Amino acid sequence: MTGKPRRGFFEQVATLLFGGAALSVPGLTGLFAFLNPLRLKAQGGEFMRLASLDALPEDGSPRKVPVVAERTDAWNRFPAEPIGAVFLRRVGAEVKALQVICPHAGCSIGLQATAEGSHFLCPCHIANFDLDGKRTDKVSPSPRDMDAMEVEIRNNNEVWVKFQTFNLGTSAKVAQG
């Protein structure tokens, strides 16, 4: 009689271990699938096709280009919609991209044409930037120059930009997650 209760105990423990292991596989898979959108949101910017070289003026004047993409916000997927904009500027064979959001407080920067030439202007705090995105006034409340983004020319004519947004109000250019 002493052997039977002990054997029953080991059978119960083995059943619990194997049952727990069998249930943990779909449980962990479900947890991973549930948390996956949060993991994807933490990734940085990605390259997006924004224009062709032919669409950009050869004289170096900037062109504001909307960034349109499908957006996923946690578990909701939205169809193609505007998620931002960039200024694209063709300088010889090179294309430069600048974020239209002011690094000071997030206002939308515009292109201002004057008799002396064009420059970028933030209407919220009257900060001026040259066409390369550099601050032109020493007392600018903007903590840094306009945020430049990586640009690639693909297929000899397509302008691809690594679109991302950056933290506001700091002198360090740090991409938002």
Dihedral angle sign, alpha carbons of residues 61, 85, 163, 104: positive
pLDDT band at residue 43 using 50, 70 and 90 as cut-offs: very low
Q: What is the mean predicted confidence (pLDDT) over 6-27?
A: 81
Q: Where are the alpha helices (DSSP H) in 63-164?
A: none
Q: What one-character DSSP code corresponds to residue 107?
A: P
Per-residue pLDDT at 41: 47
Q: Is the pLDDT of residue 30 over 80?
A: no
Q: What is the mean predicted confidence (pLDDT) over 108-124?
A: 90
Per-residue pLDDT at 37: 58
Q: Is the pLDDT of residue 28 over 90?
A: no
With pLDDT > 70 as the criterion, what percentage of the chain qualifies? 88
Comparing 63 with 39, the larger pLDDT belongs to: 63
**Measured in Å, how far apart are the chain's first and last C-alpha atoms?**
65
Question: What's the mean pLDDT when you consider all of the chain?
Answer: 85
- The encoded tokens of residue 3 equal 């052997």
Judged on CB neighbours under 10 Å (0-12, 13-18, 19+), 142 is: buried
Q: What is the mean predicted confidence (pLDDT) over 32-44?
A: 57
In terms of Cα–Cα distance, which of 87, 83, 37 is closest to 60? Answer: 87
Q: What is the mean predicted confidence (pLDDT) over 110-123?
A: 90
Per-residue pLDDT at 27: 78
Q: What is the mean predicted confidence (pLDDT) over 40-48?
A: 63
Comparing 47 with 36, the larger pLDDT belongs to: 47
